[in-house]
Structures are given as structure tokens and as C-alpha cells.
Amino acid sequence: MFTIHQLRGFVAVAEEGHFGRAAHRLTMTQPPLSRQIQQLEKELRVSLIDRSGRNVRLTPAGRAFLRDARRLLHDAENATQSVRRVTEGRAGLLSLGFTATSGYGVLGTVLRTAAERLPHVEIVLSELVTRDQLDRISAGTLDAGLVRPPTPPAVESRPLRSESLVAALPAGHPLAEEREVALSAFHGADVVGYSPLEARYFYDLVVGVFGAADVRPSYVQHAHQVHTVLALVEAGLGIALVPETAARLRFEGVVFRPVPTPVAEPVELHVAWRGDNDNPALRTFLDLLLTGDGHTE
């Protein structure tokens, strides 16, 4: 089978129309270049170059093979660049999980930055609650996730963003007339809360915020997705504390008001991954996300 070196030599001779100029272009001497072409012709069992005159002329077979030779060299160069990009983490496949609210607050910025800086990395998305993301990261079926803390010991994580809690209120609710809602307004009020199992992070966060303020609401429902909480608020079942980005979900019958809390931005979002994941694209993605180039604010 012919080699890349033989193809490169043949194309140089064909384009230069002269063995000496082609050898100079390839930074080699003319005799080994002539042998390369002879070996190529022997392999193909055809004459590619008419050597009967002083100038180099391609035979009909040579002219036909020149097109294929250029294409093969182009494909070989692309393959070389492609495998280098994969090894360097600049190409490949990355599976990324995200929570519903991170899809509105962070995910778009992350994907735009990745598309600009890592155009050859294909990102496959999975919308999952934090618990399911962490299970898949631990199992090795998900490279990284946008999750709520904490993470198990086998999973590494870094903070990406923090944000405030806001009050979600039915449009006709008396508190909707206020510029901001005090935590004390939730005392004894009908409140849509979070599931202690499927939404453990928000359950612990909201219960902790209320507990620190000595506020005891009346929980009417517990949901595990923020958009479900908002749907129940819109239906008039109660009011809720939700992350600030939930306002981007645009429920027409829900209004949002600031809520002063002891910690200004208690809602955290982390990027999580397994430390022994050897996907080069993951390392490059994390570098982009955590060095400031993938700024998510």
C-alpha cells in the first residue's frame, strides 16, 4: 500500500512540474523523491509521470490520481488534527446534566461560551434533578452536572453561582402590592414547599431560612421542581420562596418580590464531576468554566 509520504511527493511534483523544485519544497533531495514516485507507480501498477521530455508531465492516469491524492492528503490532515483535538480536550463528546432552574440562569451562558471556545466538543444535555445527576456522575454515565450542594465524597465540585431567594405570589395576593416581602409575612401563611426527598437542597434551605427567623408557615403542598411550585402558586394554593432565576420561567399569574434574608445569596449552584474521569474534553470544559472564561454571572 502506498504511503502518505509518497502521496505528498507525487502531489508536489505534479504541482511544481519539476522534481528539483518539488524536492526543495519538501526539504529533501531529488533522488529519494524520485524513488518515492517510482515506488508509488509500482504499487499502483501504472505510470503517473511521462518522463520522455525535459518537463514533468502527468499521464492520464496521473491526472486522474492527482485528484484522489489531494483528497487523501486532505483527509489525512483532518484526521490528524481531529485526533490531536480529542487528545488535547478540544474535541470529543461531553455529557452534561443540569437542573431546571440552572437551565434558565446559567446553562445558556455555559453553552455559548463552550460553542465559542470549544467548537469541536459536542455537548449532550440531560435535564435531571441533582440526586439523579450525582448518581450518574458516580456511575460514570454523566461527565459533569450543574447541581445543588452538597456532593458525595466520590464526586468533586466547585461553586459556579449564588443567588437570592424571592417570594413567589399569586398575582392577586395582598403581598403582591409590597415592594419587598419580609420573612415574617410567611409566618402562618399557606406555603408551597419542597419535597424533602426529591428536592432535598431547597427543602433544607427554605426550612433553615424560616427556622432562623422563627417563622412557622403552613405547608399546603410539597413539590420537587421549581416550575411545579410556581404552577401551584399560580393556582392560588399558597406562596413560596424560590430562587431568583425562577422569575425567568414567566408564569403570567405569578409575581416575584425580593425577600431580605440573613445570607444575601443563599442559593448555590455547583459544577460536579468525578475526579477519575479521563475524558480530555471534561478537563478542558472545567478549565473554561472555572478560570473565569466561562463566567456565569
Helix (H, G, I), strand (E, B) or coil at 137: helix
Q: Pick from 146, 181, 188, 147: which is nearest to 164 by CA?
A: 181
User: Domains in the chain, ordered, with CATH?
Assistant: 4-87 (1.10.10.10), 91-161+268-290 (3.40.190.10), 165-264 (3.40.190.10)
Global pTM reads 0.69
Please tell me the distance from the alpha carbon of residue 129 to that of residue 163, in angstroms, as a whole number: 18
List the chain pLDDT tens, one digit each, 297 residues.
889 888 889 889 888 888 888 899 999 999 999 999 999 999 899 999 988 767 788 999 988 898 988 898 888 887 766 667 555 566 788 999 999 888 887 899 999 999 999 898 899 999 998 999 999 999 999 999 999 999 999 999 999 999 999 999 999 999 999 999 999 999 999 999 999 988 899 999 999 999 999 999 999 999 989 999 999 999 999 999 999 999 988 899 999 999 999 998 999 999 999 999 999 999 999 999 998 544 444
Q: Pick from 67, 71, 117: which is nearest to 91 by CA?
A: 117
Cβ atoms of residues 2 and 40 within 8 Å: yes
**289: burial class by Cβ within 10 Å (0-12, 13-18, 19+)?**
buried
**174: burial class by Cβ within 10 Å (0-12, 13-18, 19+)?**
exposed
